[in-house]
Each structure stands twice: as structure tokens, then as C-alpha cells.
Chains A and B, each alone.
Chain A
Amino acid sequence: MIEVAGLNKAYQTQKVVDQVSFQLKGAGVTAIIGPNGAGKSTLLGLISRLQRPDEGWVRVDELDVHHCAGDRLAQTLAILRQENQISTRLTVEDLVSFGRYPYSKGRINEQDQFKIEQALAFLDLLGLRHRYLDELSGGQRQRAYIAMVLCQDTRYLLLDEPLNNLDMKHAVGIMKLLRRAADEMGKQVILVLHDINFAASYADCILAMKEGQLVYMGSPEAVITPEIMQDLYDLDMTIQQIQGKPVAFYYR
């Protein structure tokens, strides 16, 4: 269970995350949506301890994220941010192997190797395993990073815009995979998404943020409505049910 209570974060006088509180129970996929600058990435940073809140606390499975030992949390919660720049030259397999560091501390054993193979296969990276990251396309690199956090084998998975740089086929592939991770492996996946239709099709729960505040929270059917979207994005949207999921049309 993830509990977030009274989170505040400000840069100088600008409030980026403003009194955010919520609880997420059990397995599932949760999408954070909202316009640019709404504080989505910062919220994810605060939950994952990459950033410190000015006020408030976060608990994951009863562990206080900002005061608990780092290596313990690394086995519970994994985070992947948008920008990942690495100064060293790594192959895909090197990168994915790092996902096992919280367990192996650098000495990869058979079980670690098994998890690495599994993650590589899951993301369709077996053919690319010996390629260097700087030789890959943006989408391939993104998949390698996702394989790494998946390999970390944590119950909670936090992803900041994982669909960036991905074409439609791979975007759908990643979302299906995350859905499977939630349904079959009991993971709680929280991700920032820009495409509300992906959120509506795959998420169990949607958190909508605006100006640092959590303004709506609920199932896709409850949140993806013309009124709420108008409030959130200041756009007129036509929303229809297709195959039982709300789909928004907002291109013209």
C-alpha cells in the first residue's frame, strides 16, 4: 500500500506540489495525468525519494520512504525518470544487470542471471543485448531502461512518461506488459502519462493533477468525462465508449 499525506514542495515561492494526499491499495495500474507543469513528475520524485518534500510524508508498505534505509527500499520500489544520461559506455545487458544491484551488490548469481534473461526477453531485447546504449534508437534505449527497473523485481514500479520516444506498437507493447505485471505478478504500477487514451484503456485508477494539486481521482469512467477534461486541459473533448473504455477525441 502506498500512503501519501500532506505533500508540499515549492521551488522558491512557486508551489509545485500542493497538499497532495491519497492512498493506493493492492495491485494495479495507476496513471497520473494533467497538463504540463501540473507537478506530476515532482510528485513521482517525492514518492520515490529522489526529491525531498518540504512537508508531508510517504509510506510504502509501512516504510517511511524518506527515512528508511535505501537498500531496503530499493527492493520494494523502483523508479524510472524521463531523462537518463549515463557518462559511461554500457551495453544493454550491463544496464539491465544493474537492476539486480539491490540484491546482488554487484555479484550476479544464477538467480540474478535468470531475472536478467527474463527482463530482456520481456522487452524483446535479446537480440540487442550486446549493443551499446549509444548505438540504439530512443525507443530501444527506453525499453532497455524499463527492462532494468523490471529486473529490480520490486512490488512498486514508478515510471515517469515511459511511453516517450516509443512508436505506437512499442507503446502498446509496454502498456500491455505493465498491465500483465500488475495482473500476474501483483505489482502496483504508477506512471505519468500524457496520452489520456492510454490512461483510460489501461489504468485501474487515474490521478488528475492541476497546478500542483490533486484535483480528481477515480476510475477512468469517472475521471475521463468532458466536464473534467475541460477543467483540466481547457479543451473541448468528445468522449465515447469504445470496447467499454472511454476514448477522447480532441484533435480538432
Chain B
Amino acid sequence: MFKSLSPATRLGLLLVGVLLACLLFMTLNVRAGWAFTLPFRGEKLLGLLLVAYCIAVSTVLFQTITHNRILSPGIMGFDFLYLLLQSLMVYSLGSIFFSQINPSLKWLGEVFIMVGAMCLLYYWLFIRQQRHLHILVLVGIILGTLFRSLNAMIARLMDPVEFDLLQDVMFASFNQIDSTLLGVSAFLALLVTLFGWRYRHALDVLALGNDQAVNLGLNPRRLMMLILIAIAVLVSVSTALVGPVTFFGLLVANLAYQLAGTHRHVYVVPMAVGLAAMILIAGQAVLEHVLSFATGLSVIIEFIGGLFFLILVIRQGRR
């Protein structure tokens, strides 16, 4: 029965699911008055929506430009690169500079640097060199570990005042969304969306592979570079808000390919975003209000996502 549904109907059903999850999140187990609960939870809800959006979109875009289904920005260590850049900046520029500058402005600067660093590294890795997928998986996991370790080393070199400044970023999680950056983050995500909308059909063509994209009149190199920039922005946003999330993007992107019922990005991307939002929000609602924070949402999501990643790698190897 599900097979016969059109992509638009499927998206509609998903939207209902997302709205139900939001409703659950906002109304479950309200103890304090509504005047307190609504803005308090509303802010969290916006944060979760934004994070779901960034992770889902960045993963689908990344998989389209790299022509694979088992790598995602999270697995390739993008998030840890962001954390490393943060530490490096605090360490080199000093705490006084860091605490006095306008946080939104500072953050825009960070995103800018992140975009530059990420594009250089991953452009070289993915687009200049055509490598085998399994080597890329290894490289990504090694790079992720390298960035994380460097980050830890720099944290040890810092003096406590400087380290204190990093706390916000380092310990952000689904429970503690860094809400000071919500406004400017949403703005950046919107910019990326407006830009991406223009390329919605070109993305479908890009998924056919480089040769076909050239044949059909695209300039794949240029397009991939632009999309890589968009991915860098989205990853920066999600990492700044909730910290590194490794496998979640992979999970929702692959579910979206299965459930969207079409290859077209116009449907696949919203599908992935909706799934990500539904899972995050419903999961957080249940954890906070039913299990009363017995465990972190990221632990569960990463566990399921990690298992899923292993299944994909094993299946790919068999072919």
C-alpha cells in the first residue's frame, strides 16, 4: 500500500509525524506554568529543528557530490575539525579578544574560517583525487580521531580561563543547546537553503556521475565546490549548537532514500529533514519526560546510527 503513495503524499504524512512529535515535546509532563514552559521548550524545539535540518541536508548533499551512500560529513570528521579550529583560535588569539568581541560576529568569522579549511582539505581529498570508497572511510575515521586528539592536546596546553571559554562549544549536546547562536544560525541555514533551491535539479544530474553531468551541460567541479561550502556552513551550525554527531546524518539520509519513493532532491532532502526532526524531537521528548534524562539522546542515536553504518559497510563489501 505504501508503495503506491506519491512522493508528495509521503512528505505530507511525514509532516504530520513531525507536528505530532513537536506537540508531544511541548506538552508532555508540564509542571511549571505555561508562561514559563512555552518559551523555554520553544527555544529548545527550534534548536532541535535547526540541528535536524543542518545534519540531514549536509549529509544528503555530501553523499550526492561524493557519489556514495555510506560516508557523511560526520563520519569524515567535519565536526571535529570545527572543534579543533575553535580551540586553535582561542589558544592563539587569547581569551580577552575572544570574550570581548560580539558573539554573533565572532561566530560568523569562525564559520568563514571553517568553510575555508574544510573546502581546501575535502576538495583535495574528494574531487582532485578520485579514490576508492573504502580508503576514504579509513581516511575519514583517522582524520576524525586526529582532529579530536589534537583538540584534546590544545585543551591541555590552555590556561583555565581560555578553556572556560571553550566549554560552551565543547560540551554542547542535545540537552544543552547553545541558544545564544540560534538567531544567526537560522539565518545562515536560510541563506544556504535559498542558494540550494536554485540547484535542486542540477543536484539530480550530479548524482548521475561526473561524466554524465558534463555531458548534460553542468560544470561539476564548480558545483561541487559551491556545495562543499554549503556543507561546511551547515556542519558548523549543527556542531556549534549540539556538538559532534557522527552517525545520525547517515541514518536519516539512507532512510530518506528508501522512503522518499523518488531520486529527486526536491523530495529526498525534505524527507531527510523531516525524518531527522521527527526522530530528534520525539526522542528528546521521551528521554526528558518519560525516562527523566536517564540517558543522553546522542548515545542512543549514535548507537543505532553506528550499527546502521556497519551494516552498510558490510553490504557494500559483499557486492
Contacts and interface: CB of A to CB of B under 8 A. Distances in A.
B69 interface: yes
A105 B201 contact: yes
Interface in B171-214: 200-202, 204-205, 207-209, 211-212, 214
A49 B213 CA distance: 12
B215 A149 contact: yes
- In the complex, which range does the number of interface residues on chain B fall in? 20 to 34
Interface in A42-93: 48-50, 70-75, 78-81, 84-90
Contacts of A99: 216
Contacts of B257: 88-89
A99 B208 CA distance: 11
A98 interface: yes
Nearest to B199: A106
Given A101-B201, A105-B201, A86 B207 contact: yes
B128 to A, nearest CB: 14
B263 interface: yes
Contacts of B217: 70-75, 101-102
Given A85-B209, A106-B200, A78 B215 contact: yes
B216 A102 contact: yes
Given A73-B217, A74-B216, A79 B211 contact: yes
A79 B215 contact: yes
Contacts, number: 69
A94 interface: yes
A213 interface: no
A49 B219 CA distance: 11
A152 interface: yes
A16 B212 CA distance: 23
A87 B215 contact: no
A152 B216 contact: yes
Contacts of B208: 84, 86, 88, 98
Contact of A87 (B67, B200, B214, B219): B67
A74 B215 contact: yes
Nearest to A149: B215
Nearest to A71: B217
Nearest to A80: B215
Nearest to B69: A87
B211 A81 contact: yes
Contacts of B209: 84-87
Nearest to A45: B211
B46 interface: no
Nearest to A75: B217
Interface in A94-151: 94, 98-99, 101-102, 105-107, 149
Contact of A98 (B69, B205, B211, B219): B205
B218 interface: yes
Contact of B201 (A71, A80, A106): A106
Interface of A is mostly: loop
A50 B263 contact: no
A73 B215 CA distance: 8
A72 to B, nearest CB: 8
Interface in A143-173: 149, 152
Given A87-B68, A89-B263, A106-B201, A48 B215 contact: yes
A49 B201 contact: no
Contact of A90 (B67, B201, B219, B263): B263
Contacts of A89: 257, 263
A75 to B, nearest CB: 8
Given A84-B209, A87-B207, A106-B200, A98 B263 contact: no
B52 to A, nearest CB: 23
Contact of B211 (A50, A90, A101, A152): A50
A80 B109 CA distance: 44
Contacts of B68: 87
A70 B214 contact: yes
27 contacts: A48-B214, A49-B214, A70-B218, A71-B218, A72-B217, A75-B217, A78-B215, A79-B215, A84-B208, A84-B211, A86-B212, A87-B67, A87-B69, A87-B207, A88-B257, A88-B263, A89-B257, A94-B263, A98-B204, A98-B208, A101-B201, A101-B216, A102-B216, A102-B217, A105-B201, A106-B200, A152-B215
Given A84-B212, A88-B263, A89-B263, 18 more contacts: A50-B215, A70-B218, A72-B217, A74-B217, A80-B215, A81-B211, A86-B212, A87-B209, A88-B207, A90-B263, A98-B204, A98-B208, A98-B212, A101-B205, A102-B217, A105-B201, A106-B200, A152-B216
- Top 5 nearest A-B pairs (CB, nearest first) are A106-B201, A74-B217, A71-B217, A88-B263, A70-B217
